[in-house]
Structure 1
């Protein structure tokens, strides 16, 4: 859950009258320096809540003051409404000049349709200021198609007091240790894991991470190319997940539980009724909103290593947000992205708690200790995998969510999971 995930919790709907998305003028020879003909840059984003909404509005004003010939038409749209409107627009062969993207399969479809601009040459002078992991979701065949503004990762959020009650003195480093801790928690009368089984996407995190640890990042990438998920390593990932499921680790009624409702996953965790949840960097704030603030009792640890696996325990899984550039966008579109990516401007967004650092040197701007734990893990990550329901084409990503949910519910075997995903991938 990148910002798209957060939106399921806090974003409020807005009603906007949106005009055409083509630029009103092409830049003159000195447009980027504040001279030349008038240019309008249409910017669709999902920053409808504070603090990022106000930060972006302020940066628009600052940029326009520096470039009097440029108008940045800042259009914040609620997440789900944004997806629907962008889909409608791209089906007509158009995009805004700048628009929110989560990379992966959807962006690749836009690239293949000739809608997203290759900005590799445009950002070459300053791409080295960006953290490499933050760029991966937007790069295809050695080319870059978006500029990141946020990144995050999924990991285990845990209740330190409940771990101590069960006699667990340190977070598990391996999958075997993790399963052993599940048994210790259950023996102490503690529900080990909160899970929103109804919503499916939280469950896919387990299979995805296990696939990363067992098969490795390269295997996940190759599977997307070959449309083949039936190898033994992917089956093994499902078998490891079944090991967990067989321990009955989730809260009562988890199959009907949502994520952010008063009786959902976040509230179960926040109210101290479960010892941990596998969730993104937004988890502490949602736990507080849906339940209670665990305060100093809340801790974070990365997904454990799997013994004998080909993947590195320091590889991270998550997402973020980026801004793609439309094929017909004026040069000022990329120049504006350069402006908001300058370290001082990015630091302000990071200090607000709205985003995690994607610009090198901004790490110390993270003030919240929970977010700092995630930022630290990301800073040492050796590789990065985008959420599978975003990394792959939409139909394949949905099948991952659906099939893994059925495995967790006891309705599919590990073999049936990979067979279903492969069938969908080959027919997509």
Structure 2
């Protein structure tokens, strides 16, 4: 995926998105393959949790695993998000991946699997992986085989200011697209900026088109279009038209085309400071709103992306992603054991409480205290379909073209038809 997605999940790199990379001697430089005189297996854990509190929490978990497995040594290798991606691209090309490595699933993982570099985890993890939240496993399922184990999952939805909604006479969050457009009009009528958008970074705008495509064409259509390299179907053009209708209402803050996401004058701050009523963003939004702005406290609410009347999609189909771990082909048993340890209920509870991730183990839900986080978790748990971030699900060039074309539509320089055609052209070129 391109830099926009790195920016999007820069926050996640701090508190959520950590990856595992474990390696034996034959992998990427581990100290032992388990056959040394000491009888110790060293597994190298590659992660992108370079900031607190996740860095310390994960280091503590590694020590706990070592205490439970005296003949296993965990060597932690940490890289920042973009550096990690660059390194993994080079390792993939060399044919030598770490024993356990961070993955977002989707297109990149598929490339690694197709190259024969990733272990099929379906059988060795079945006794315990089947109990994980189904939607959290989705990004790592390829051809009905499991190639990754999630440690985090989340979704994109609308974060809104309850006080501003009340001021505009909106009694409940909208559940339909027409209702959503009506809410935008009511907010505008009261002089309230309905939506904050980081137009400069492009990826936040993509969320609108992706969700509208899911609602009009259905979640399966996005996968089928990628397989067929054809995004010109009526549902995708309709998605662009619905977005154009929204843009026509001029719902975004002044100067949105030059606005970033997490800066003091950006999208998150506009909502956090009460200057805009809503933003379409992931489960990390409240933390970024409070960091970039003041935060809304009890005035902050969450609702899922509305259904589109007459569309093939359902409001229970969600768009989002998370972090997971995959194993290189031939990784030692200790690597599988570590994955099992990492999704134990006690581990997940610790991650939920200390790092703010959403639980992938249903029994860990009791550790959630924030009402909005509970609302997100309830949506994920009841999800009837799941679509991974398009810049992860698709080949990197295709994901970037989605971001660029949708940004052009929002800026008024591309039509809904041209968006569909541009994405299709790029997809065909990537074949």
Q: TM-score range by the shorter chain?
A: over 0.9
> What is the match of residue 9 of structure 2?
6
Structure 1 residue aligned with 2:296: 294
Write the distance in 2 (CA, Å) between the matches of 1:81 and 1:124.
Answer: 32
Residue of structure 1 equivalent to 2:426? 424
Runs of 4+ residues over 2 Å off in structure 1: 1-6, 8-12, 22-28, 49-52
1:221 is matched with which residue? 223
TM-score (structure 1 length as normaliser): 0.94
Q: How does 1:151-170 map to 2 (within 5 A)?
A: 151-170=153-172
Residue of structure 2 in register with 1:15 after alignment: none
Unpaired runs of 5+ residues, structure 1, are 13-17
1:23–1:329 CA contact under 8 A, matched in 2? no
In 1, Cα distance between the equivalents of 2:399 and 2:159? Answer: 24
Could you say what secondary structure the match of 1:73 adopts? Answer: strand
Task: Name the residue aligned to 1:21.
Answer: 28
Greater mean alpha carbon deviation, residues 52-61 or residues 215-224: 52-61
Instruction: Identify the residue that residue 119 of structure 1 maps to in structure 2.
Output: 121
Provide, for residues 134-166 of structure 1, a one-character-per-residue CA deviation record: whole Å limited to 9, x for no partner. 001011001111110000010000011111111
State how 1:32-71 maps to structure 2 within 5 Å. Answer: 37-71=39-73
User: How much does 1:9 deviate?
Assistant: 7.7
Q: Deviations over 1:287-334 (max 9, x none)?
A: 111011211111100000000111111111111000111123211111
- The answer to whether the Cα contact below 8 Å between 1:27 and 1:331 also exists between their aligned partners in 2 is no
Q: Which residue of 2 aligns with 1:206?
A: 208
Question: Structure 2, unaligned stretches of length 5 or more?
Answer: 16-22
In structure 1, C-alpha distance between the alignment counterparts of 2:386 and 2:367, rounded to whole Å: 22
Shift of 1:38: 1.6
Rounded to whole Å, the distance in 2 between the matches of 1:417 and 1:405 is 9
Partner in structure 2 of residue 403 of structure 1: 405
SS at match of 2:173: coil
Candidates 264, 267, 270, aligned match of 1:268: 270
Q: 1:178 aligns with which of 177, 180, 186?
A: 180
Residue 49 (structure 1) shift = 2.2
Deviation (angstroms), 1:110 = 0.9
Aligned to 2:325: 323
Q: Counterpart in 2 of 1:382? A: 384
Provide closer, same or farther for how the CA distance between residues 334 and 4 of structure 1 changes in structure 2, counting only shifts above 3 A. farther
**1-structure distance, mates of 2:79, 2:32:** 24
CA deviation after TM superposition for structure 1 residue 346, in Å: 1.0
Partners of 1:140 and 1:281 in 2: how far apart?
Answer: 25
Aligned to 1:83: 85
Of 111-120 and 141-150, deviating more is 111-120
Report the CA distance between 1:65 and its aligned residue.
1.4
Q: How far apart are the structure 1 equivalents of 2:327 and 2:421?
A: 37
